[in-house]
Amino acid sequence: MFDRPLKKGTQICGRYQIRNVLGMGSYGITYLASELGGGDVCVVKQLRQTKVWTSSGRRSFDREAEILQGLDLPAAPRLYDVHRSGRSWFIVMEYVDGKNFEDLIFYDGCIFDEQQTILILLEALQITALLHSRGLIHRDLRMPNILQTGEGIRIIDYGLACRLTESETAFYRQPEKRLMRSVSVKSDFYALGHFALFLLYSGYIPAAKKEKSWEEELSISSGLKSVLRKMLQIDSPYECAQDIIDDLASLNMTSRVVIQENI
């Protein structure tokens, strides 16, 4: 069986019509859709038909729907509808109008300096802290899932999110994947540490052919290096988001003072 995306114009749940495919993941296919009769734009996430047959696929679908239903965070998409019928399983949610940081960097050519990176990271961490306070971890805080909108940062795609009380049964060969998927708040810090590195590398121009470590290549303050080393678990890792927020806020205030002194 092949998981072919639904065609443009396909009607689902008797209420929505597919406009186009937004993305395809290991468990789901995501579409841009609208309500029939010219209604509001929304996002429809379809569980792959091959995954409907598996307990892990159904469990992942149910968990994402349940998490979105109880989340009620301004920075997360609102859940509109859940539909299960035969091999057709759909989650309908709010369309977040914004651009993810992958597109901003690689398609729009945006460059983020240290101060901008700190401010973006602070906002993402504040949202992450709210998730953690509700006993949830996202486990997929990558550039495609962090959006810049007119109202600020939004975080999407809760397909890998879980509760801190859950146990992890999957085995990942890659150490990086194990750190990012672990059932711990540290997994979100690790992912956001890599997210910050992508922002900082957006303006990096190699001065030599030989590849070096990020600490050697990036011209950033020792304070930010220290924060990132803890987030990436190179040094003793952070245990809660507020500690990172406090350290970054302190760095941001220091950088502002330096800028003012140089004016």
Q: How far apart are CA 113 and CA 108, in angstroms?
A: 16
Left (φ > 0), alpha (ψ -120 to 50) or beta: where does 221 sit? beta
Please name the residue ranges forming H helices in 41-107: 49-52, 55-71, 101-106
If you search the block for the tokens 């350290």, which residue do you land on? Answer: 247
Closest CA to 23 of 102, 80, 131: 102
| DSSP secondary structure, 2-38, as one string | --PPPPTT-EETTTEEEEEEEEE-SSEEEEEEEETTT
Determine whether the annotation assigns residue 7 to a binding site.
no
DSSP 93: E
For residue 232, give Cα distances in angstroms to 102, 188, 192, 235: 20, 10, 9, 8
The phi and psi torsions of 220 (rounded to 5 degrees) equal -130, 165
Helices (H), the chain: 49-52, 55-71, 101-106, 114-133, 175-181, 185-201, 214-217, 222-231, 241-262
Alpha carbon separation from 111 to 116, 117, 200, 205, 214 (Å, rounded): 9, 10, 8, 11, 17
Residues comprising the binding site for ATP?
Answer: 45
Q: Which residues are documented as binding site?
A: 45
